[in-house]
Structure 1
Amino acid sequence: MKKEKSMLIVILAIVFVVVFATTTFAATSLRTDTTKTEASPAYISSNPPGPGYTGWCTVTAQPSLTARSGPGTNYSPVTSELYGNYVDVVFVNNTGWAEISIGSNSTGWVSTSYLTIGC
């Protein structure tokens, strides 16, 4: 009986170590890059606005699209627009970025890949 208890304790200890090590490894290996801001390719618009476009567009990125302080992912985020929201496009440049109105006197920049023309 004593030998069986000892064996059971050893087995439980091994199981505990394996489970703990696996869980720790899984938790660290599944971390995502929190700086990534692009939406999945599944949400890329089939009708994005082209250079010079102004007017209303619908956000196609899910769950949201990050608006930035300038036309590129190297600019800091200023807000986000939810999937399905309508945004007022002020200007579209030649590199695929749209300047949108985000307040009474503010604008932000979003990738045109995740906008579709119209409401």
Structure 2
Amino acid sequence: MIETGLVDTCMFPINFGAYHYGGQLGQKVLDAAMKHGVGVIALKAGARGRLTNVTGNPGHVPDHFRHIPEWKRQEMIHFPVYTSKDHPTEWYEPEDDPEELRRLILWSLNQKGVTAVLPPGSLELL
């Protein structure tokens, strides 16, 4: 979509954990965005890691969605999403140490091509 010229910005998880342990997809998004003059809003900048059945609560899978296709519901069943036990609006493990959170957000902001970051979903973390 970035290459089409139809978008001015995109949102993508650009964070320390995904960059170092999740492959090169984030860097490819940043490279494409810079090449086509598209701004990048970094998501999950304060992520410590992915939640598991040990560290999180299982997400609710509705019987049906009004606006989301059945394949997405099936994905949620077979590849469950967990929500944070301490911060239920988060579906990744958020960093809760203020100094470390500051470092993670600054890391995301310092990636070439990132124009902004979204804060964690829990305002208690800010």
Flag whether TM exceeds 0.5 (same fold). Answer: no
Structure with the bigger percentage of strand:
1
More helix per residue: 2
- Answer 1 or 2: higher relative contact order, Cα 8 Å, separation at least 6: 2
Structure-1-length-normalised TM-score: 0.20
The structure that has the greater radius of gyration is 1
